[in-house]
């Protein structure tokens, strides 16, 4: 990484500040402003961090203009075609493709750590039946740390590997148990003879009197879903994990925070919102064209869920892979789903509509993923939970990268204060009533 050029900033008072330019391994350029305030008294302001590099990272590369995504240098298309989710996790976390021995060793650690402590059953029983599984997921991952006190201080590579594998493996067990609890069915134990994805499907769908055997197509589609969600550089939830980790919080606590950040409909909850949107359109008989007219009319405050991305201003390569996978899976399972047709229609119209073209809005990873999950029998409210299982390796890799960096400081952005200047205290009987509540939700997510 080169750091020789400088950029020049002229301040309103005529001062000239030289700022180092940082160039990444793919030629991305940044102006390093870390010393700006100390030198000039100025900070930079960037609402929503749209133009802020929060760290240097060697994990994932995205070129949003050209629709490129690579994990550790390997194109996502090649990983999707050739790898498994657990191998992809090793690549992301440790930086290199594992040897055959490393693969089987990691696989064994995943298997050894797949079961939850037996006491955990009581936690599941404590949630209301209609609790959203994301709230169970984040609470349970947080609770895991109470059962692994040695794992709270990671001081060697073996301990990190064990905790990382335990989190990846147990996340899947927790997700399936949360689902079983919500439908009043007995929680299934993981099996020691099944691979990662098949084991998850077993825990989701087996019953005491009937073992579920995942088809090859189902396992392959879910494997692809997990791979495509495994990392996506400094998105909302990964930044949250790094933020929490920068205060030296342990891996469990940092990842639990990531699950919470992922939940919202503009991030990991978008796959659920897409499916709800498609279901509503299908049930009400509203046409794709009419729905898009409503989206474009700003007073309706509706977004076309599964469209648009902060970084991709071109095709999201994950959406292309998932679109093909959705076609293949539905054909293999001989399913026809009106919602897949609707998704195709919405996409076709939007991609030729001035509103979407001008704003460079393309389908994102969530647009077709819900079709696949629905075909696999996964209920809609579990979609963000599956996203969180998939994103686990990325969160762990980012936590490790930060943890291993001796120069790492606590994340602590600044702000421009826009509130009242200093003012005298008002005694209770002289106070005016506060303003009425005016807040309202900004976006409706369903038709
Ligand atoms: N439907 C309609 N209009 C949209 C959409 C959409 N899905 N997305 C963006 N726009 C419009 C905005 O209204 C805005 O229009 P304006 O310039 O006339 O005001 C313009 O496009 C830019 O939108 P921003 O909100 O500034 O874009 P931002 O980068 O902040 O948001 C986001 C990105 C949150 C993904 C947005 O595109 C969105 O809400 N999409 C729908 C939700 C979604 O699918 N989220 C999943 C993202 S992928 C992931 O997290 C895994």
Q: What is the pLDDT of residues 406-442, one digit of tens each?
A: 999 999 999 999 999 999 999 999 998 887 655 555 5
d(CA 72, CA 343): 32
Judge if the beta carbon of residue 359 lies within 6 A of ligand 1. yes
Ligand 1 atom 45: the closest Cα is on which residue? 266
Per-residue pLDDT for 55 more than 80? yes
Q: What is the pLDDT of residues 43-54, one digit of tens each?
A: 999 999 999 999
| pLDDT value, residue 447 | 39
Q: pLDDT band at residue 337, thresholds of 50, 70 and 90?
A: confident
Any catalytic annotation for residue 47?
Answer: no
Average model confidence (pLDDT) for the chain?
93
| pLDDT value, residue 272 | 87
| pLDDT value, residue 266 | 87
Q: What whole-number percentage of the chain has pLDDT above 70?
A: 96
Ligand 1 atom 13: the closest Cα is on which residue? 303
Judge if the beta carbon of residue 296 lies within 6 A of ligand 1. no
H helix intervals, 95-215:
100-112, 120-125, 133-144, 157-182, 196-205
**Residue 42 tokens, joined:** 């100025």
Ligand 1 atom 2: the closest Cα is on which residue? 303
Judge if the beta carbon of residue 294 lies within 6 A of ligand 1. no
Any catalytic annotation for residue 353?
Answer: no
Q: What is the pLDDT of residues 99-126, one digit of tens each?
A: 999 999 999 999 999 999 998 888 998 9
Per-residue pLDDT for 2 more than 80? no
Q: pLDDT band at residue 207, thresholds of 50, 70 and 90?
A: very high
76-90, 148-162, 167-181, 215-229: which has the minimum mean pLDDT?
148-162
8 Å CB contact between 137 and 192: no
Distance 276 CA to ligand 1 centre (A): 18
| pLDDT value, residue 438 | 53
8 Å CB contact between 136 and 174: yes
* Dihedrals phi, psi of 411, to nearest 5 degrees: -75, 125
Q: How far is CA 418 from the centre of its chain?
A: 32
Distance 353 CA to ligand 1 centre (A): 16
| pLDDT value, residue 442 | 54
What pTM, to 2 d.p., does this model score? 0.91
Neighbours of 55 (CB within 10 A): 15
Distance 324 CA to ligand 1 centre (A): 24
Ligand 1 atom 41: the closest Cα is on which residue? 305
The owner of tokens 């001989």 is 334
Mean pLDDT of 88-93: 98
Judge if the beta carbon of residue 310 lies within 6 A of ligand 1. yes
CA separation, residue 416 to residues 44, 47, 402, 434 (Å): 9, 11, 27, 24
Q: Which atom of ligand 1 is nearest to the CA of 48?
A: 30
């Amino acid at each position: 990484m080169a750091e020789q050029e400088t950029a020049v900033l002229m301040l309103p008072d005529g001062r000239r500040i030289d700022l180092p330019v940082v160039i990444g391994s793919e030629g991305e350029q940044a102006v390093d402003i870390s010393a700006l305030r100390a030198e000039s008294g100025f900070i930079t302001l960037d609402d929503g961090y749209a133009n802020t590099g929060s760290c240097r990272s060697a994990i994932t590369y995205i070129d949003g203009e050209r629709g490129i995504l690579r994990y550790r240098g390997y194109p996502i298309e090649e990983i999707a075609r050739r790898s498994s989710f657990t191998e992809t996790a090793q690549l992301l976390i440790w930086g290199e493709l594992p040897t055959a021995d490393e693969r089987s060793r990691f696989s064994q650690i995943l298997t050894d750590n797949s079961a939850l402590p037996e006491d955990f059953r009581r936690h599941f029983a404590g949630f209301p039946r209609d609790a959203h599984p994301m709230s169970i997921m984040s609470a349970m991952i947080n609770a895991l740390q109470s059962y692994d006190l040695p794992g709270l201080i990671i001081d060697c590579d073996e301990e990190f590997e064990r905790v990382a594998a335990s989190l990846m493996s147990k996340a899947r067990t927790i997700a399936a148990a949360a689902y079983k609890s919500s439908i009043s069915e007995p929680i299934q134990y993981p099996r020691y003879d099944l691979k990662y994805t098949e084991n998850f499907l077993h825990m989701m769908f087996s019953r005491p009197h009937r073992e579920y055997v995942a088809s090859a197509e189902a396992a392959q589609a879910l494997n692809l879903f997990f791979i495509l969600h495994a990392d996506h550089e400094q998105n909302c939830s990964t930044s949250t994990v790094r933020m929490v980790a920068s205060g030296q919080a342990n891996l469990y606590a940092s990842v639990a925070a990531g699950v919470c950040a992922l939940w919202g409909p503009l991030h990991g909850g978008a796959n659920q919102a897409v499916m709800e949107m498609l279901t509503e359109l299908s049930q009400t008989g509203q046409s794709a064209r009419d729905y898009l007219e409503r989206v474009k009319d700003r007073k309706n405050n509706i977004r076309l869920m599964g469209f648009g991305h902060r970084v991709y201003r071109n095709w999201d390569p994950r959406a292309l892979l998932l679109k093909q996978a959705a076609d293949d899976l539905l054909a293999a399972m001989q399913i026809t789903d009106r919602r897949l047709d609707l998704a195709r229609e919405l996409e076709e119209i939007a991609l030729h509509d001035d509103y979407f073209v001008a704003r460079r809005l393309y389908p994102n990873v969530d647009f077709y993923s819900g079709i696949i999950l629905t075909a696999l029998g996964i209920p809609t409210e579990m979609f963000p939970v599956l996203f969180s299982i998939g994103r686990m390796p990325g969160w762990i890799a980012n936590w490790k990268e930060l943890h291993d960096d001796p120069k790492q400081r606590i994340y602590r952005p600044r702000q421009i204060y826009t509130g009242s200047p200093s003012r005298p205290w008002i005694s209770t009987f002289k106070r005016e009533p506060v303003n009425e509540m005016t807040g309202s939700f900004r976006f409706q997510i369903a038709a």
